[in-house]
Amino acid sequence: MDRIYAQGKTNDAKYFIADEVERTPLYGMRTLFVVGLQPIDEIVELAKANNCPAVYFGTGNSFNPVSYEDGEYYNLWDDMICGVMNHDLWATLDFDVRHCAGVLEMVCAERRRFVPMIAVKMPHVRQFNYNATLKIDDVDFDSTNPGVWCWGLEDLLKRDRFSDWEQYRNDTIIQLNDEGTK
């Protein structure tokens, strides 16, 4: 995925740093963003060297298991995320809503310093009329949730919850040398 960074446009960054612009509990925190599976020791070294108390995993839609049954894939990510959190760092995992059940099975999901970023892709969201409603439903009637939650889309699209694409353009790529260090 092509992105614009402080150094220009590229699609091959593995690591970059920025202040968190998405309205999570870590909003405004200096964060190391990680694309794909990377070595734990390298992530921790880069986070600490760049004064990042938080690490954001799954950047660029890089967390993408084939299915909920893809246990090996979930385990690799779980090991990486838990390994990083073992160094007193916060961790966010950005994942598509269809992976909720699999993420809930991960050990990291039970950690206090873990922030699940559940991504719901909604193209052309501003084209819906004023009556549009977003519903958080269950997999079946009275199955895993106590009920359903509904919000008027207009209430969700308020300015104080919005992160403009422009805010993502000054992220700084961390270049590694052949030995894997900065």
- Name the residue type at position 46: L
Per-residue pLDDT tens for 53-68? 999 999 999 999 986 6
CB 174 within 8 A of CB 15: yes
Please tell me the pTM assigned to this model: 0.86
pLDDT at 6 > cutoff 80 = no
Domains: count for the chain: 1
Residue 103 lies in a domain: yes
Per-residue pLDDT tens for 131-167? 999 888 888 888 999 999 898 988 888 878 788 888 8
Residue 156 lies in a domain: no
Banded model confidence at residue 178, pLDDT cuts 50, 70, 90: low
Percent of the residues in the chain that have a pLDDT greater than 70, as a whole number: 94
Residue 151 lies in a domain: no
Residue 41 lies in a domain: yes
Question: Which two structure tokens, joined as six digits, stand for 90?
Answer: 């916060």
Residue 100 lies in a domain: yes
Residue 161 lies in a domain: no
Range of the domain at 88: 3-121+167-173
pLDDT at 100 > cutoff 70 = yes
**C-beta pairs of 82-88 under 8 Å, 24+ apart in sequence:** 82/107, 82/108, 82/111, 83/40, 83/44, 84/40, 84/43, 84/44, 84/47, 84/55, 85/111, 85/113, 85/114, 87/44, 87/47, 87/48, 88/113
| 171 vs 150: CA distance, rounded Å | 34
